[in-house]
Chains A and B, each alone.
Chain A
Amino acid sequence: MALSLYLDHPSWLHRRHPVAKVLALGWLFVAAFLLDHPAPLGLLLVLVLAATASARALSVLHQMRWLLLPVFVFTTIIWTVFYPATADGPVDRWVAFRYGLGMALRLETFLATGFVFLATTTIEEFAFALSRLGVPYRAGFVLTLAFRLVPVFLDAALTVRDAQRCRGLDFTTGNVATRIARYAPVIVPVFIGGLRRADQMAFALEVRGFSAGRPRTSLPRPGMDGSDLLLLGVGGAITAVVVALRVAGIGRLVAQ
């Protein structure tokens, strides 16, 4: 499994301001949430796929096909089975299937939108956008630091696992509880190593004035330009159309 979905190549979506991308992501999530009819949801998904293709990010969706295809099948089946019954009579299975299909398309839209965002936005840009949207600097710092540490811990865990295997630890036999318990000799050394690293990192941050209590300075970044505002406008317009459809009673199958 790749440790980042970011695609390092230029595209119109890569160049957009991080705040514009986060807000557009939010608009699309809201639009998909307000619909449950397969037809408008399918149209929305096609729009997201078109944006993905234009940003040359379809490879991410291909990479995540192991997730996207089972999600579609599973969600359609489960919501067809769990379609909410009414007091009026037995459940119409055709309506239930259309509802299940709508839910599957909604979930695929959420996933595809999230993947194209991750394919075109670095974690630093995401943290920057969050800070511009009011999330405290330290929370963004933790997000980026934790993201950077994941491969370090993963690498350490794999090394320790191999070392324990060499000593005869078998992860493949026994019942579920036994197998889970065998992860303790892997987790403990990685955890202790992580603690040592955390202690050193805290010292390093302190000597660089992390908690100096003075106003923080940062490199200036360009603000949003016309293209960013256009992206926001398109996202907002899609949501406005969806709200209008909803008010008109189109795009809904059942009362929630």
Chain B
Amino acid sequence: MHELTRMWRNTRMVVLTAMCASFYAAVLIPFMVVPIIPGVTHFRPANALPVVCSFLFGPAAVWGAAIGNLIGDFFAGLGPGDLFGFVGNFLYALAPYRLWRACATGDPVPKTAGAWALFVVVVATGAGLCAATVGFGLQVLGFVPFAVLANVVLVNNCVTALVLAPLLLAVLYPRVRRVRLLYDDVIGPRPALSRARRALGVGLALAGALVAFGGGNLAAAGALPPSLAASPNLGLAAIVLPGLTLAAVGLVLL
């Protein structure tokens, strides 16, 4: 996690953060006229970019996705929900590169069945964390129910990222590596983690995403113990927040 703060001392990473943010916003903005839930979310082909940038620029993409989403909101309405959008997009870009480097040694360009399976899992984990964060926040603020928004965000993120990201990575990854702008080249490689730590981190991240997203949907569907069901938002918080915390701890370990 230290690299998420350390990168701010590196001018190249700062500029790459701005580039990721502006690129994300520049592709988000033209599609804001195609709403899925008016005022809340829209068709977002740009959602492949945080995943692509995550594999290329690591921590710069994490901050870039969060800031890019905020800039996109500047054109479609600033509000307290943007805080959850910021955190959700932060997690959406954080999960892919952390999980991939913990589970694989090869390039994040899926070619074999195993690489494809891992790619789907890391993208779905990031998308699930983003969906749970945004869905929870916007239900608490009274914008849209969790059951509606979280599922729309998950599908929107997964479809665009799984279709577009492998195509873009196949073209961009070798080129970015050639000009030595991959995050490991810019901020230096990090020390190898023990097998046990990687297993624990991956396990916590996956379990946390499942609890936050799956549990949130169960809570929204009313499948809660009576002690929690008295208040819908409290019940949702009791399920989603521990899940997100678990996933965040797992990602920190990686």
Are the chains A and B members of one assembly? Answer: yes
Chain A interfacial positions (CB closer than 8 Å to B)? 1-3, 5, 25, 29, 33, 36, 64, 66-68, 70-71, 73-75, 78-79, 82, 84-85, 102-103, 106-107, 110-111, 113-115, 117-118, 123, 136, 138-139, 141-143, 145-154, 157, 176-177, 180-181, 183-184, 187-188, 190-192, 194-195, 197-199, 201-202, 205-206, 210-211, 255-256
Once the chains bind, are A5 and B26 in contact (CB under 8 Å)? no
A-B residue pairs, 5 tightest by C-beta: A114-B78, A71-B39, A149-B22, A153-B26, A146-B21
Once the chains bind, are B14 and A138 in contact (CB under 8 Å)? yes
Once the chains bind, are B143 and A3 in contact (CB under 8 Å)? no
The yes or no answer to B110 lying at the interface (CB within 8 A) is no
Once the chains bind, are A145 and B176 in contact (CB under 8 Å)? no
Once the chains bind, are A256 and B30 in contact (CB under 8 Å)? no
Judged by DSSP, the binding face of A is: helix
Once the chains bind, are A138 and B141 in contact (CB under 8 Å)? no
CB interface residues, B 11-27, toward A, < 8 Å: 11-12, 14-19, 21-23, 25-27
Provide the bound-state CA to CA distance between A149 and B164, in Å.
23
Provide the bound-state CA to CA distance between A198 and B160, in Å.
25
Q: Of B21, B30, B49, B76, which contacts A142 at CB under 8 A?
A: B21
Provide the bound-state CA to CA distance between A88 and B210, in Å.
32
Collect the chain B residues with CB atoms within 8 Å of residue A106's CB.
141-142
Once the chains bind, are A153 and B22 in contact (CB under 8 Å)? yes
Provide the bound-state CA to CA distance between A181 and B171, in Å.
13
Collect the chain A residues with CB atoms within 8 Å of residue B142's CB.
33, 36, 79, 102-103, 106-107
Once the chains bind, are B144 and A78 in contact (CB under 8 Å)? yes
Collect the chain A residues with CB atoms within 8 Å of residue B39's CB.
67-68, 70-71, 74-75, 107, 111
B contacts with A, residue count (CB < 8 A): 69
Please tell me which stretch of B66-74, B87-95, B119-127, B194-202 contacts chain A, meaning at least 4 of its Cβ atoms lie within 8 angstroms of it.
B66-74
Q: Of A151, A157, A181, which contacts B167 at CB under 8 A?
A: A181
Provide the bound-state CA to CA distance between A191 and B77, in Å.
27
List 14 A–B pairs whose Cβ atoms lie within 8 Å, in order of A's numbering: A3-B29, A3-B75, A68-B39, A70-B38, A103-B143, A107-B39, A115-B77, A118-B74, A150-B29, A180-B163, A181-B167, A198-B12, A202-B15, A211-B11
Question: Which chain B residue has the least Cβ–Cβ distance from A137?
Answer: B8
Provide the bound-state CA to CA distance between A157 and B48, in Å.
16
Collect the chain B residues with CB atoms within 8 Å of residue A142's CB.
14, 17-18, 21, 63, 67
Provide the bound-state CA to CA distance between A183 and B81, in Å.
29
Once the chains bind, are B164 and A194 in contact (CB under 8 Å)? no
Question: Which chain A residue has the least Cβ–Cβ distance from B171?
Answer: A188
A110 with B163: in contact, given A184-B168, A255-B231 (CB under 8 Å)? no
Collect the chain A residues with CB atoms within 8 Å of residue B234's CB.
256
Most chain-B CB neighbours within 10 Å: which of A110, A115, A152, A181? A110
Collect the chain A residues with CB atoms within 8 Å of residue B181's CB.
195, 198-199
The yes or no answer to B80 lying at the interface (CB within 8 A) is yes
Collect the chain B residues with CB atoms within 8 Å of residue A117's CB.
78
Looking at the assembled complex, report how far the CB atom of B135 sits from the nearest CB atom of chain A, in whole angstroms.
13
Question: Which chain B residue has the least Cβ–Cβ distance from A109?
Answer: B79
The yes or no answer to B172 lying at the interface (CB within 8 A) is yes
Most chain-A CB neighbours within 10 Å: which of B15, B37, B40, B164? B15
Once the chains bind, are B172 and A5 in contact (CB under 8 Å)? no
The yes or no answer to B33 lying at the interface (CB within 8 A) is yes
The yes or no answer to B233 lying at the interface (CB within 8 A) is yes
Q: Of B11, B25, B167, B231, which contacts A146 at CB under 8 A?
A: B25
Question: Which chain B residue has the least Cβ–Cβ distance from A205?
Answer: B11
Once the chains bind, are A183 and B45 in contact (CB under 8 Å)? yes
Looking at the assembled complex, report how far the CB atom of A102 sits from the nearest CB atom of chain B, in whole angstroms.
8
Collect the chain B residues with CB atoms within 8 Å of residue A152's CB.
22
Known contacts A149-B18, A256-B233; can you find 20 more A-B pairs with CB under 8 A? Answer: A1-B75, A36-B142, A71-B39, A75-B144, A79-B145, A123-B74, A139-B67, A142-B21, A143-B21, A143-B71, A154-B26, A177-B163, A180-B164, A181-B164, A184-B171, A187-B49, A194-B19, A195-B181, A202-B15, A256-B231
Q: Of A114, A147, A183, A205, which contacts B71 at CB under 8 A?
A: A147
A141 with B25: in contact, given A5-B75, A191-B172, A198-B19 (CB under 8 Å)? no
Provide the bound-state CA to CA distance between A95 and B141, in Å.
19
Provide the bound-state CA to CA distance between A113 and B79, in Å.
8
Collect the chain A residues with CB atoms within 8 Å of residue B78's CB.
25, 114-115, 117-118
A149 with B19: in contact, given A176-B159, A211-B11 (CB under 8 Å)? yes
Provide the bound-state CA to CA distance between A113 and B82, in Å.
13
Provide the bound-state CA to CA distance between A70 and B33, in Å.
12
Provide the bound-state CA to CA distance between A14 and B161, in Å.
40
Once the chains bind, are B74 and A157 in contact (CB under 8 Å)? no
Looking at the assembled complex, report how far the CB atom of A160 sits from the nearest CB atom of chain B, in whole angstroms.
12
